[in-house]
């Protein structure tokens, strides 16, 4: 089974991103920063937050689903706000999505918030609402279940250092994970955690028997050349001892986001 985790950067490198996902064709894709604007057919809209102005691929969720036609597509919104089409506003949902190959029956799942709650009338004040999604699937290749959970961790404008909010987020992630995964079952937890490698988040997740693969295997970061700040870590993938890792890599080429895809084969 191939599992990919990626922050899509709102689809800013849309063509490269969609082609890469189509070619890689993971069995499970955990995708963060996904835009879903069901009332428009426009390709691009604009996000505005003061001086922070970004292009956003208006219907990235739909386009990734089309690139993976043999997958079940699940969108998990964290907020609904507005994007801009020139001077017109367009309601747009923002969150994360999970794409699961149809041959993998989904036998359990949980969706919840790790910071705040759903923001229905705007994206909200920083740090904004963040959510997580967990699934349990039955893998006939190994004739057993495996649970996969991903989250997009809160973004603090002051940096990626530990805060009380991030500690609370870690405990909520652990609680959601425990709702999906039975003790002793193979478990993968991943996402753009928005934390440093020495975060206490990893101590919380260690209580579930989880170990990170990015830092323990010597990778020097998970950011591409499109990310201009000095911090190089944001994304992580953790497994428990029941997971037999055949291969794990942080993909540096091609660049499809300001984050690197993380791929595990089990």
What's the CA angle centered on 177, arms 174 and 179, to 5 degrees?
115
In this prediction, residues 216-225 reach a mean pLDDT of 97
User: Tokens 């987020």 correspond to what residue?
Assistant: 169
SS3 state of residue 84:
strand
Nearest to 110 by CA among 169, 168, 172: 172
pLDDT of residue 11: 98
pLDDT of residue 261: 98
In this predicted structure, the answer to whether residue 50 has a pLDDT above a threshold of 90 is: no
Q: Is residue 9 very low, low, confident or very high in pLDDT (cuts 50, 70, 90)?
A: very high
In this prediction, residues 160-176 reach a mean pLDDT of 98
In this predicted structure, the answer to whether residue 44 has a pLDDT above a threshold of 90 is: yes
Contact criterion met (CB below 8 Å) for 261 and 30: no
In this predicted structure, the answer to whether residue 179 has a pLDDT above a threshold of 90 is: yes
In order of start, what are the domains of the chain with their CATH numbers? Answer: 2-265 (3.60.10.10)
Nearest to 147 by CA among 113, 114, 109, 111: 109
The pLDDT mean for the chain works out to 97
**94 Cα distance to chain centroid:** 12
Q: What is the pTM of this model?
A: 0.98
**pLDDT one-digit tens code per residue, 100-135:** 999 999 999 999 999 999 999 999 999 999 999 999
């Amino acid at each position: 089974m191939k599992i990919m985790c990626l922050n899509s950067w709102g689809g800013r490198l849309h063509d490269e991103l969609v082609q890469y996902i189509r070619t890689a064709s993971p069995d499970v894709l955990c995708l963060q920063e996904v835009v879903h604007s069901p009332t428009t057919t426009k390709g691009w809209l604009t996000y505005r937050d003061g001086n922070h102005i970004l292009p956003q691929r208006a219907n990235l969720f739909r386009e990734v689903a089309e690139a993976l036609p043999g997958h079940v597509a699940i969108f998990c919104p964290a907020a609904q706000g507005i994007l801009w089409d020139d001077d017109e506003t367009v309601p747009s949902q923002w969150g994360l999505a999970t794409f699961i190959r149809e041959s993998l029956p989904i036998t359990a799942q949980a969706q919840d918030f790790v910071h705040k709650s759903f923001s229905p009338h705007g994206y909200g004040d920083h740090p904004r609402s963040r959510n997580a999604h967990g699934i349990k699937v039955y893998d006939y290749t190994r004739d057993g279940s495996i649970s996969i959970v991903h989250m997009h961790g809160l973004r603090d404008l002051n940096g990626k250092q530990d805060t009380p909010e991030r500690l609370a987020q870690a405990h909520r992630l652990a609680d959601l994970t425990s709702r999906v995964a039975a003790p002793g079952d193979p478990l993968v937890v991943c996402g753009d955690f928005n934390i440093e490698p020495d975060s206490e988040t990893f101590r919380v997740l260690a209580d579930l028997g989880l170990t990170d693969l990015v830092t323990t295997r010597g990778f020097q970061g998970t950011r591409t050349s499109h990310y201009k700040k000095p911090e190089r870590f944001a994304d992580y993938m953790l497994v428990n001892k029941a997971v037999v890792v055949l291969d794990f890599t942080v993909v540096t080429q091609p660049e499809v986001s300001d984050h690197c895809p993380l791929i595990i084969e089990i």
